[in-house]
Structure 1
């Protein structure tokens, strides 16, 4: 379905282009006010909202509406057939009292954690789920971020302080679900990842915003969207200003990662018409990525000093990254790096074994224009084979125009111009 040089139109033949995710008929709707929720930002609305979800589920499904106002809540659990609509001016706000997020079995960082914090919105096996509107999911993250940094500073090995070493909630975890639509929502100040999609198929995320305050240096693990073991995902017309990966493909980790049937490959991921203003990477094969293939990123803008594409290579995990294409990307920053393919060693644990073999192949960047910081680097470990990296039809101004450092990899450049000078 893919040529050696990236995506072809045929590669998207199975993608419905949005038509398969047209809005479903919804027999009933109800407001959270009908169940006693108060919009004062201080009175807990958790019980009222869960009562509304449960009521609609008993009635065969429908849409629970959040009207304007601020509603304080702990963990909520969606039911099949029930949708959520946040009206303009509505804010569903996380509490920072984690007793309202009782620990449970949950997927996080490439494995199942037996006792960890659920998300604000949790949906499991909710085919056809819609979360729509112009409202805000507010994670109240500041207090949790400060608590995280304080605990990390006190740790014996701060650099390896675990991300799950503190109770903190994602804004949404959607898992084992098909035909999902997230549209119009603002994800703001999440305590942990913003939107975590796990083991889903046919998901669209449209016109969503993922935000961390501009004046906060680093909200830990504030990923915008984590695409974990999912297939057929479309992300379009979204805006990202976070302090970790804007979009990350994830799977599992460890020497036996390829045997983990609970972590199938990330396949057929399409990202288009998005803006990336702040973050570590616009797109990353993340720290728990295993098999990622058939990714197309097109017609996007990178307006901040972030990395455009990073492929993290774990020495303790056999990984396969293939058929990843970026095309028609406008860069508009004095900083940032274009391409990073290199080892990622934080939390690595080989358990005394030799590193497994990994493969990166058929990575294409074409049609890049504008201004940016530097190239980056392609320097894999010896046990990683990197072939078919192609840079094509690129015309850029780089503030650090040194050549792309390459070691132990196959990289081709065609029709590349940097600061008015052709590069071969």
Structure 2
């Protein structure tokens, strides 16, 4: 008996030892894997660095401490868990992912707390709005960084940041930029931007929501290789401004910005050099001009004369090139705008699959001008190779439908609009039809600066090689203006235009300086007038 028991004990002990050895090996392997994983995805909880998240305690020092600690270790995720974190300026650093968990809110501190960083030195001269010249006076900012991201389903509430450009008022008189002097204003603490990034590379901003974003919800200047995806913004001035940036994609965003532009590409002189904004894709986005806050609460209350659009310009010192905009909707805001007025070029632009409803002032606005808000401008503003297709616009303001205005000395060259259906609210009078619109010149490039146009659908002036195909215009109430009017066009191609007009009103009016007209499948176009134009041109 004792021998059998001893053998059994030995067998059990041997098996136990073997099992323990296997568990030991597996445990060691698990620890190594975990150690490696932890090294790659290190998370720094801001609460471990003193953040409270009660909405009353200033938590930005703790958030910055967590960012600094992560940066010292080569980077990682700075995690902001659920709670409300009252904050002044938060300083991003390279290789940092600032992650806002669901239920987390970064709340901008009131101005009187002096929690925002002072404005940095700036000496290039006031060639752009003052807010474009300063970045450090922001809720979240970074400069000369690589591999940065702001992610998560949390909320950034601008809170106490302001929407005004007070720095510009202190820096120089807004109307004095034509004769600027170098300036280095005393540092100011005026938090007026939610996110400001300058000269950063490899940037990701995804899934966050921004409310009450101040002058800019996002100001991105001189950055490249950026992705902005699935961002919701309900703000009181500019939404996303992309300035002098390259290789950037904006996708799946919802931007409500009644007080200014929704998604705006710019090309300022803020970096002290002429730099193109180029290789930009904007797709699957929604822009609107509802009253601030009513996008998020779902009531979507209209605000008269709201902006809220997608625009290129007006800041256009360096110019724009290789831009693609597609699959976007506009609602209760102004329409699409392409504006080059500061001596730069705007070229190689494709815009397609756009749906717009309830538009203020116009549906499509394409303009060049000679505002020349740039140092030592030596070239005219230029625009060429632009294609806009597959657009539906309804509820368009009677002021203007499609407006195309170049410079007499530098016509827009190579513009094609096709597959467009435009419905105007109508109401134009015979007096409106007799209006002779002034030249844009050096004025601010907005349709309301020129006013109501003498054609409700299409007005084009100073263009070379203009192609219009498969365009349908109509009105909701009777309009006594022609559907289309053309002046100083060199090379006009019209194909399948269906243009509604009131009884006794000409479908289209062609000035004597419209040359080389080709038209087909366009009922209502006066062939006799075209023939007369041709005879006059030959003389």
TM-score where L is the length of structure 2: 0.63
**Runs of 5+ in structure 1 lacking a partner?**
1-24, 213-218
Say whether 1:422 aligns with 2:440: no
Tell me the matched-pair count: 378
Measured in 2, the distance between the counterparts of 1:286 and 1:193 equals 15
- 3-state SS of the aligned residue for 2:63? helix
Structure with the larger helix share: 2
- 3-state SS of the aligned residue for 2:216? coil
Q: Structure 2 vs 1, CA of residues 166 and 27 (structure 1 numbering), >3 Å: closer, same or farther?
A: closer
Kept after mapping to 2: 8 A contact 1:45/1:71? yes
- 3-state SS of the aligned residue for 2:97? strand
Q: Structure 2 vs 1, CA of residues 85 and 147 (structure 1 numbering), >3 Å: closer, same or farther?
A: same
Moved more, 188-197 or 375-384: 375-384
Q: Structure 2 vs 1, CA of residues 189 and 382 (structure 1 numbering), >3 Å: closer, same or farther?
A: same
Correspondence for 2:422: 396
Aligned pairs for 1:128-207 (under 5 A) are 128-140=147-159, 144-145=162-163, 167-207=190-230
For CA contacts below 8 A with separation 6 or more, give which structure has more relative contact order.
Answer: 1
Measured in 1, the distance between the counterparts of 2:133 and 2:420 equals 47
Moved more, 186-195 or 168-177: 168-177
Aligned pairs for 1:251-270 (under 5 A) are 251-253=267-269, 262-270=273-281
Q: Structure 2 vs 1, CA of residues 362 and 350 (structure 1 numbering), >3 Å: closer, same or farther?
A: closer
Which structure's CA Rg is the greater one? Answer: 2
Kept after mapping to 2: 8 A contact 1:185/1:207? yes
- 3-state SS of the aligned residue for 2:367? strand
Kept after mapping to 2: 8 A contact 1:336/1:372? no
**Runs of 5+ in structure 2 lacking a partner?**
1-38, 178-184, 290-305, 427-454, 476-496, 500-521, 523-539
Measured in 1, the distance between the counterparts of 2:250 and 2:64 equals 28
Measured in 2, the distance between the counterparts of 1:354 and 1:102 equals 32
Residues 107-140 of structure 1 deviation map (CA, whole Å, 9 limit, x = unaligned): 9948998877522111223322121011111112
Residues 334-364 of structure 1 deviation map (CA, whole Å, 9 limit, x = unaligned): 5452222336788x6689x898412101122
- 3-state SS of the aligned residue for 2:332? coil
TM-score where L is the length of structure 1: 0.78
Measured in 2, the distance between the counterparts of 1:166 and 1:338 equals 39
Aligned pairs for 1:15-414 (under 5 A) are 26-97=40-111, 99-100=114-115, 101-105=117-121, 109=128, 117-140=136-159, 144-145=162-163, 167-212=190-235, 219=236, 222-242=237-257, 243-253=259-269, 262-278=273-289, 280=307, 282-289=309-316, 290-314=318-342, 318-333=343-358, 335-342=360-367, 356-373=379-396, 374-400=400-426, 402-410=456-464, 411-414=466-469
- 3-state SS of the aligned residue for 2:458? coil
Moved more, 409-418 or 114-123: 114-123
- 3-state SS of the aligned residue for 1:294? strand
Kept after mapping to 1: 8 A contact 2:137/2:189? no
